[in-house]
Amino acid sequence: MTTQLFPFVKESRFGDWFLNTDMWKIRVLERALNDVQRFIPPEKTQFETILDIGCGFGHAFESLSRRFSPTLLIGVDADPDIQARAGAAAERCSTPVRLCHANAAAMHEIADNQVDMIFCHQTFHHIVEQEAAMQEFFRILKPNGLLVFAESTKYYIETLQIRLLFRHPMEVQRTADEYAAIIRNAGFSLPPERISLPFLWWSRPDCGMLEWLGFSVPQERKETLINAVAVKPA
């Protein structure tokens, strides 16, 4: 692991390939957006500025533009090749996009109280300094701003197939309850009714094989995913 203050664990080649598949775009990204959108307060119909943290190849840009009608999207990623990776998606997006190379725990280019929404999708479990990053999220959000959070828990990241195919900082993986605690400890309001714990087939250790064979989905289980919408108090 790198010794810089805010380490960055670069994704595997397989991981980069997978992020460009329809499986990722439709079954992971769009499904998460569909799930969390129902938690957004009905009076919140437009978000002037949305920050996509860990934007990767920019696959969320157009969906965020279509769903929330921002006037500006800010794509932030710790990968120094962000322009090469997300530049094409930024140019295609119907909303102007500003790309920013920065670690989530030190977003110095983003001013206090600047953004209306932070979209954090399958990014937080890549971050080493998680508490510092969550404090940064709180700092840059406007009062009443939303943190849209959709992540895999340790019980997914620690499965054999994910260990073999992807790269993550394994020592910082958390449970769903622990991620919710990090959000609340930073000062966000996150009631239980704005949390979803989907148990999607691709997140299970058996990749849904038991359900395919006719077994029912277990009601008592170790949660593999957490989707949530938190609010920065006014």
Tokens of 226: 């957490």
The C-alpha atoms of residue 226 and residue 122 are separated, in whole angstroms, by 10
pLDDT score recorded for residue 5: 54
Quick check: is 209 in a domain? yes
Position 112 in a domain: yes
Question: Does residue 168 fall inside a structural domain?
Answer: yes
With bands split at pLDDT 50, 70 and 90, how would you rate the model's confidence at 3? very low
> Which residues are bridge partners to 228 per DSSP?
149, 195
Residue 218: pLDDT over 80: no
Residue 170, pLDDT score: 93
| pLDDT, position 210 | 67
Rounded to whole angstroms, the maximal C-alpha distance in the chain is: 52
If you search the block for the tokens 């406007």, which residue do you land on? 142
Total count of domains within the chain: 1
Mean pLDDT of 203-209: 75
Element (H, E) at 97: strand 97-101
Residue 28 resides in a domain: yes
Percent of the chain with pLDDT over 90: 81
In a domain, 6, yes or no: no
Evaluate whether residue 46 is within a structural domain.
Answer: no
Does residue 2 sit within a domain?
no
pLDDT in tens, 21-61: 999 999 999 999 999 999 998 888 779 999 999 999 999 99
pLDDT the model gives residue 2: 36
Identify whether 183 is part of a domain: yes
Query: To the nearest whole number, what is the mean pLDDT of the chain?
Result: 92
For 106-162, how does the pLDDT look when each residue is reduced to its tens digit (9 = 90+)?
999 999 999 999 999 999 999 999 999 999 999 999 999 999 999 999 999 999 989
Q: Find the CATH number of the domain harbouring 62.
A: 3.40.50.150
Q: Quick one: tokens of 64?
A: 């965020």
Q: Long-range contacts: 3-10, Cβ < 8 Å, 24+?
A: 5/106, 6/78, 6/103, 6/105, 6/106, 6/128, 6/129, 6/132, 7/128, 7/129, 7/169, 8/78, 8/79, 8/103, 8/128, 9/126, 9/128, 9/167, 9/168, 9/169, 10/79, 10/167
**Predicted confidence band of residue 4 (pLDDT cuts 50, 70, 90):** very low
Task: Please identify which residue in the block is written with the tokens 């000062």.
Answer: 187
Handedness of CA 175, 228, 59, 209 (dihedral sign): positive
The residue length of the chain stands at: 234
Q: List the domain range (segments joined by +) for residue 130.
A: 13-36+54-231
